Structure 1
Amino acid sequence: QKGGNSSFSSFYLIFLKIKTHSLTYIYTALSKPVGLPGIHEFTAMGLLDDKMIDYFDSENQEKVPKQQWMRERLPADYWDKGTQSRKSKQHRCQESSGPPKQRLLYLNRYRVGVLPSINQKEMVRALS
């Protein structure tokens, strides 16, 4: 409408669906070998939404993916750096003194809200 007063009101509703994820790291360290298969002096694992995504133990000395999507999307240097980080944590646990030396469980838990535009690879990189 030319020359007249026109009022136009508009508003937008934006709905963002935010999904919450949990990322948990569990470290176990024993004071001495127990001599049982599958029980190691040191183990570490990452869990995303209570599903194991990576694993490391004192026998194999390598951080490995436990989910196919991680194996496919994360480069080798991610796993190399992760291996070095886990070895460092293992070393700190083994050198720790003070009762009790066998700290069986060390737990970090994070709750993360992720916008739909962030894919799993970016989320994992941001949290690592």
Structure 2
Amino acid sequence: MPTLDLPRCRLAYRVTGSGPAVVQLHGLMSDQVANAAGGLDLAAGLPAHRIVRYDARGHGASAAELAQWPRLCADFVHQVESGPAGGSELPGCRTGGGDAQGARHGARRQQPAGPEPVTR
């Protein structure tokens, strides 16, 4: 599985399909595998999209300790800006939905102005 290197973390991800990016976000204490097994992969079956699934810091195949929510949110923003996602649509459940909202509404406030990483 490919990884994206971040400070003190290596995020494991996989990409399927082609087209506009959709990033599937999992909940706290979950991961890509658990989402698929539990029917929580909200991006499954989307035609003509590039689906990016990743395990958050301290979850699944990602190498790092668990972190507080603001760090998970910042990791997500980094994944979108520097990883395979580009500007993205964001289905997410539980904490993953919170990560998406935080990315859209607050995680960037300490970063320089630039293009929005999340389209909606």
The TM tier, using the shorter chain, reads: under 0.3
Quick check: which has more Rg, 1 or 2?
1
TM-score by length of 2: 0.27
In the superposition, the TM-score normalised over structure 1's length comes to 0.26
